[in-house]
Amino acid sequence: METLEVHGPFSFRGENSIFDHQEAWVNGFYIWCVEVEPSYYRAYYVGEALDVASRHKTHLRDCLKGNYQAHCLDGLRQNQSILMHRPGDGMIPRFAHIDREEFNNDFIDSMHLFFAELPKTGDKKADKLLRCRYEAGIVRHIENAGLNVLNVGRISNWSGEPSQVQLETNGVKIEALSGELVSI
């Protein structure tokens, strides 16, 4: 069994920005979380990237432009999915009184970012399959714990022998993940 260190929490901007940390410019998977209480986080989004920090530059731009759906932060902290913003439509009607730009900025500033580096083999297809395998395994693990993962890039099917990895988050806890054995 392998132990994998999950780094974080980082922010999109400001103090402790993911872009200011050299170790974030790596091949791996990432998890966006909301803080439920100090040092205790709940997953909101799971993704994978050839370069985690570069991918977050795209995420930041697209979130601020309103190109993503977004949910109520207080609802997320309570494991509830309350859609507030839909890409292309903006704020959904019952939340139309909320300024879209302000909402998107608050949403970005409330996300806590975690990531883990995965080894590169030099084979782009094999590296992508490994990242997707971790992404899918983490999402399934969270869902099997009865929690909501509201967004995920994609759930890929993979073949081969399943393995397990223990995720370590060093001093903070991500609900249903920290210290857990995750099947990948």
Q: Tell me the pTM.
A: 0.94
pLDDT in tens, 45-77: 999 999 999 999 999 999 999 999 999 999 999
Q: Distance between CA 172 and CA 103 in Å, rounded?
A: 27
Task: Kindly state the average pLDDT of the residues 13-40.
Answer: 96
Report H helices in the chain.
52-65, 73-77, 100-110, 124-144
- The Cα 178–Cα 176 span in angstroms is 6
pLDDT digits (tens, 9 = 90+) for 161-177: 788 999 999 999 999 99
Per-residue model confidence (pLDDT) at position 148: 81
Helices assigned H by DSSP within 31-96: 52-65, 73-77
